[in-house]
């Protein structure tokens, strides 16, 4: 069913309900309810506090390096021969991805709420590094939970977090990847919440996280709109971003929800292919379910056991998707497409050679779809692709994928 | 008086938990009978879930073993149907929302009622989300058990007033698992609940020794023990009927 422009904006703006249509909610153990309600109260208080906003803006501008560039990819545009391509360069942020936007917001909030310790899950390590960074900056104790398998895939990021003063715990339960790291961080939070804030890394989890993380990320779309109007005097025709939990995509899409002429496209990880069990394409293969505090789409078997998912990119290796994306998909306001490992690797190599930008494997999923879509569009159209992170962290995994033996 | 209320009538109840299908369905069936015969007043059967966020490592691993051994909701229903012909104490399912949701809420509760399940405990269904399953349970006469925790504070009365069957009082912060000290103020928690409800209050999370069972029973209407039993099952596998029976008897006699 197609929702009208008005509907979409209205429902996603219902800040206190914690629901996006039927999605979202607070499906968490009773022990955690008080922590989540305290957070809800704290967030909605500081959200409208001018002093908080001023401090956050200052951190974003003078520490993280915002605004990030909106770069016209001239060679890529010429090569594709279709729409004009602009890249939103979140890879240029401090710590190398969009994750810092959310983390600065949440860690500042935690500090204001009197917390002295932050904990976080991480998949690829980008969110863990960002959290450790903000915790170092604001002098908070920091502990990161990371799947044992991911620690092996992203050993450099583990060392980076330790360098920043964080303690990194290996999660050995379940599939030993991102979903288990989320579960383990929730368990840790239930054990100690008086002095501890859980810095959730994406637009997922129980209310208020999906709304709060989206609010901290919506600066991406806000800047795109301003920069695009300055550069081209008009709105883009499409915005493309990769989706795991979906924070960079939600941040990029949110500003455009009411502008129905702007097509919003999320690219999810299809791993070895949507028909192969080794994939993480939640929208393509998942069903509605309940996990990690939220109702949304999840990859699962007929009995509701969460399916082990796979993607070469550890950051998209999650069996669910944020509830607002589930809502936007049902409402027809955004669409979600699967991209395979091979397509993402190809796009990563392409951007590296054509524009001299090595994107993160996650972001390469968005570029891979642009590579398919842009050549089919007219030259007077404009597409924005979000480069959510830089690819430095992926070079070792990429070398392994290509069978290159690296001596680091 | 329904079966759950009767289990608390005139005595302190002992609620024994085990993970369904660990190490296999036949052993689970035998263990339920053995625990009932050894004095368990209610048995909670854990329906394994891949991502059990309220569980400590002992019950997580039991769930993994059960799933690897092929446990499914359908096989659990069959097992409960068989065991129901042998014992009359209340049987509860403890599971997470997703296995229920995937099976179909209506269908799940209908099957529970048909095979003789008395109540369902869903740790990731707090008061605010109870509507997800409350109507289905009410329609079939299944008690949807509510939980309160040391952090519930202002929420306690609201939750207790609405509770049915019994009130599950979480003893301390964190997840399930044995603890050397129960540090939450359980007595106060229960006192607050009792102001607004007459239903029994049972304490769970972290209880593993007869001393703890005695202390907790002194301030409540019943004691719930999971990880300590599951650990015995992990150790003795198919041969765990003896050790588990002895353990249940020891705990029950301390209360």
Q: Contact B84/B255 with Cβ under 8 angstroms?
A: no
- pLDDT given at position A17: 67
Sequence-distant (≥ 6) Cβ neighbours of residue B14 within 8 angstroms: B39, B40, B41, B42, B213, B222, B223, B225, B248, B251, B252, B255
By Cβ distance, the residue of A32, A179, A291 closest to B98 is A291
Q: Which residues of B touch A302 (CB under 8 A)?
A: 102
Beta strands in A4-83 (DSSP E): 19-20, 23-27, 70-72
pLDDT over 60 (residue A16)? no
Q: Which residues of A touch B49 (CB under 8 A)?
A: 304-305
pLDDT band at A18 (very low <50, low <70, confident <90, very high): confident
The reply to whether ipTM tops 0.90 is: yes
Residue of A nearest to B130 (CA): A27
Q: Contact A355/A323 with Cβ under 8 angstroms?
A: no
- Range B152-173 average pLDDT: 94
Sequence-distant (≥ 6) Cβ neighbours of residue A361 within 8 angstroms: A312, A313, A315, A344, A345, A348, A391, A394, A397, A398
pLDDT band at A3 (very low <50, low <70, confident <90, very high): very low
pLDDT band at A269 (very low <50, low <70, confident <90, very high): very high
How many angstroms separate the CA of residue B216 from the nearest CA in chain A?
A: 19
Residue of A nearest to B75 (CA): A303
- pLDDT given at position A28: 97
Residue of B nearest to A179 (CA): B51
pLDDT over 50 (residue A76)? yes
Question: Which of A275-289, A299-313, B100-114: highest mean pLDDT?
Answer: B100-114
- Whole-angstrom Cα distance, residue A121 to residue A183? 9
By Cβ distance, the residue of B98, B124, B170 closest to A304 is B98
From the list A104, A120, A404, A389, the residue with the least C-alpha distance to A241 is A389
Beta strands in A16-93 (DSSP E): 19-20, 23-27, 70-72, 84-89
pLDDT band at A407 (very low <50, low <70, confident <90, very high): low
Percent of chain B with pLDDT strictly greater than 70: 99
Q: Which residues of A touch B94 (CB under 8 A)?
A: none
| A23-27 and A19-20 beta bridge pairing | antiparallel
State which CATH number among 3.30.200.20, 3.90.110.10, 1.10.1060.10, 3.40.50.1100 fits the domain covering A17-60+99-213. Answer: 3.40.50.1100
- pLDDT given at position A9: 44
- pLDDT given at position A177: 87
- pTM of the predicted model as reported, rounded to 2 decimal places: 0.95
Q: What is the pLDDT of residues B48-77, one digit of tens each?
A: 999 999 999 999 999 999 999 999 999 999
- pLDDT given at position A408: 54
Element (H, E) at A340: strand A334-340
Residue of A nearest to B125 (CA): A27
- pLDDT given at position B126: 97
Token pair for B126: 């707090």
Beta strands in A1-55 (DSSP E): 19-20, 23-27
- Range A209-221 average pLDDT: 98
Interface test with A, best of B124, B149, B204 (most A CBs within 10 A): B124
Is B124 an interface residue toward A (CB < 8 Å)? yes
- Whole-angstrom Cα distance, residue A270 to residue A317? 10
How many angstroms separate the CA of residue A98 from the nearest CA in chain B?
A: 28
- Whole-angstrom Cα distance, residue B33 to residue B84? 9
How many angstroms separate the CA of residue A167 from the nearest CA in chain B?
A: 20
- Whole-angstrom Cα distance, residue B236 to residue A286? 38
pLDDT over 60 (residue A206)? yes
Q: What is the mean pLDDT of chain A?
A: 93
Q: What is the pLDDT of residues B75-114, one digit of tens each?
A: 999 999 999 999 999 999 999 999 999 999 999 999 999 9
- pLDDT given at position B133: 97
- pLDDT given at position B1: 61
Q: What is the pLDDT of residues B21-45, one digit of tens each?
A: 999 999 999 999 999 999 999 999 9
C-alpha separations of B120 from A110, A121, B136, B228 in Å:
36, 30, 11, 21
From the list A324, A332, A397, the residue with the least C-alpha distance to A364 is A397
By Cβ distance, the residue of B53, B97, B103 closest to A187 is B53
Token pair 């209360």 is at which residue? B255
B residues 60-119 near A, CB within 8 Å?
A: 60, 64, 67, 72-73, 96-103
pLDDT band at A4 (very low <50, low <70, confident <90, very high): very low
Sequence-distant (≥ 6) Cβ neighbours of residue A99 within 8 angstroms: A126, A127, A129, A130, A201, A247, A389
Interface test with B, best of A17, A40, A305, A318 (most B CBs within 10 A): A305
- Range B194-223 average pLDDT: 95
- pLDDT given at position A174: 86
SS3 B35: helix
- pLDDT given at position B180: 80
How many angstroms separate the CA of residue A180 from the nearest CA in chain B?
A: 7
A239: which strand partners?
Answer: A264, A384
Interface test with A, best of B21, B56, B71, B102 (most A CBs within 10 A): B102
Is A279 an interface residue toward B (CB < 8 Å)? no
Residue of A nearest to B122 (CA): A29
Q: What is the mean pLDDT of chain B?
A: 95
For B70, counting Cβ atoms within 10 Å of its Cβ (0-12 exposed, 13-18 middle, 19+ buried), the class is: exposed
How many angstroms separate the CA of residue A243 from the nearest CA in chain B?
A: 22
Token pair 């288990």 is at which residue? A180
- pLDDT given at position A314: 83
Beta carbons of A30 and B152 less than 8 Å apart = yes
Catalogue the active-site residues of A. 99, 121, 388
Is B18 an interface residue toward A (CB < 8 Å)? no
- Name the CATH topology of B13-144+202-254: TIM Barrel (3.20.20)
Domains of chain A, by residue range, sit at 17-60+99-213, 66-96+218-401
- pLDDT given at position A6: 42
Q: What is the pLDDT of residues A116-167, one digit of tens each?
A: 999 999 988 999 999 999 999 999 999 999 999 889 878 889 999 999 999 9
Element (H, E) at A407: none
* Topology agreement, domain A17-60+99-213 and domain A66-96+218-401: yes
Interface test with A, best of B151, B157, B162, B186 (most A CBs within 10 A): B151
State which CATH number among 3.40.50.1100, 3.40.50.720, 3.10.20.90, 1.10.10.10 fits the domain covering A66-96+218-401. Answer: 3.40.50.1100
Total beta-carbon pairs less than 8 A apart between chain A and chain B: 118
- Whole-angstrom Cα distance, residue B168 to residue B190? 10
Is B39 an interface residue toward A (CB < 8 Å)? no
Q: Contact B168/B146 with Cβ under 8 angstroms?
A: yes
């Amino acid at each position: 069913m197609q929702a009208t422009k008005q509907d979409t904006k209205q429902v996603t703006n219902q800040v206190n309900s914690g629901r996006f249509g039927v999605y979202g909610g607070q499906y968490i153990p009773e022990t955690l309810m008080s922590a989540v309600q305290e957070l809800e109260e704290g967030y909605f208080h500081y959200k409208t506090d001018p002093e908080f906003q001023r401090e956050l803006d200052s951190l974003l501008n003078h520490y993280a390096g915002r605004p990030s560039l909106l770069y016209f990819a001239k060679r890529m545009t010429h090569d594709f021969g279709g729409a004009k391509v602009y890249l939103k360069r979140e890879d240029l942020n401090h710590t190398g991805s969009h994750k810092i936007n959310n983390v600065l917001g949440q860690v500042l909030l935690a500090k204001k709420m009197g917390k002295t310790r932050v904990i976080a899950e991480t998949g690829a390590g980008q969110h863990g590094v960002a959290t450790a960074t903000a915790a170092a900056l604001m002098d908070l104790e920091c502990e990161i939970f990371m799947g044992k398998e991911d620690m092996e895939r992203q050993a450099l990021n583990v060392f980076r977090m330790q360098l920043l003063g964080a303690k990194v715990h290996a999660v050995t339960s379940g599939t030993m990847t991102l979903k288990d790291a989320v579960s383990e961080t929730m368990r840790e939070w239930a054990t100690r919440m008086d002095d501890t804030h859980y810095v959730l890394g994406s637009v997922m989890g129980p209310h208020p996280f999906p709304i709060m993380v989206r609010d901290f990320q919506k600066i991406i779309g806000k800047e795109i709109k301003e920069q695009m109007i300055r550069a081209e005097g008009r709105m883009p025709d499409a915005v493309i971003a990769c989706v795991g939990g979906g924070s960079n995509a939600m941040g990029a899409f949110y500003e455009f929800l009411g502008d129905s002429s702007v097509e919003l496209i999320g690219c999810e990880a299809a791993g070895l292919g949507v028909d192969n069990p080794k994939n993480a394409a939640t929208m393509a293969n998942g069903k509605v379910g309940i996990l990690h505090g939220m109702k949304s789409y999840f990859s699962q078997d007929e009995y509701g056991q969460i399916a082990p998912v796979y993607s070469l990119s550890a950051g998209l290796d999650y069996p669910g998707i944020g509830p607002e994306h589930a809502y936007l998909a049902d409402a027809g306001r955004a669409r979600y497409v699967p991209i395979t490992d091979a397509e993402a690797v190809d796009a990563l190599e392409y951007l590296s050679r054509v524009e001299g930008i090595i994107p993160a494997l996650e972001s390469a999923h968005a570029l891979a779809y642009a590579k398919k879509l842009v050549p089919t569009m007219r030259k007077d159209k404009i597409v924005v692709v979000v480069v959510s992170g830089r690819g430095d962290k992926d070079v070792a995994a990429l070398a392994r994928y290509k069978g290159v033996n690296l001596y680091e | 008086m329904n079966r759950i209320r009767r289990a608390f009538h005139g005595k302190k109840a002992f609620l024994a938990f085990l993970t369904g299908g660990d190490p296999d369905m036949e052993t689970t069936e035998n263990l339920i009978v053995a625990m009932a015969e050894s004095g368990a007043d209610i048995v909670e059967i854990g329906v394994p879930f891949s991502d059990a966020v309220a569980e400590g490592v002992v019950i997580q691993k039991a769930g993994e073993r059960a799933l690897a051994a092929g446990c499914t909701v359908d096989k659990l229903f069959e097992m409960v149907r068989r065991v129901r012909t042998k014992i009359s104490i209340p049987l509860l399912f403890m599971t997470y929302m997703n296995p229920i949701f995937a099976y179909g809420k209506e269908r799940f509760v209908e099957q529970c009622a048909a095979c003789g399940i008395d109540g369902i405990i869903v740790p990731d269904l707090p008061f605010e989300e109870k509507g997800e399953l409350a109507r289905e349970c009410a329609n079939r006469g299944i008690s949807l058990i509510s939980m309160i925790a040391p952090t519930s504070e202002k929420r306690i009365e609201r939750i207790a007033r609405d509770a049915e069957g019994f009130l599950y009082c979480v003893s301390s912060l964190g997840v399930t698992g044995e603890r050397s000290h129960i540090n939450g103020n359980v007595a106060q928690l229960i006192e607050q609940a009792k102001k607004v409800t007459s239903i029994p209050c049972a304490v769970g999370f972290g209880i593993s020794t007869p001393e703890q069972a005695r202390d907790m029973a002194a301030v409540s209407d019943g004691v719930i023990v999971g990880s300590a039993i599951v650990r015995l099952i992990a150790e003795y596998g198919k041969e765990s009927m003896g050790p588990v029976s002895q353990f249940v008897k020891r705990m029950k006699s301390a209360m």
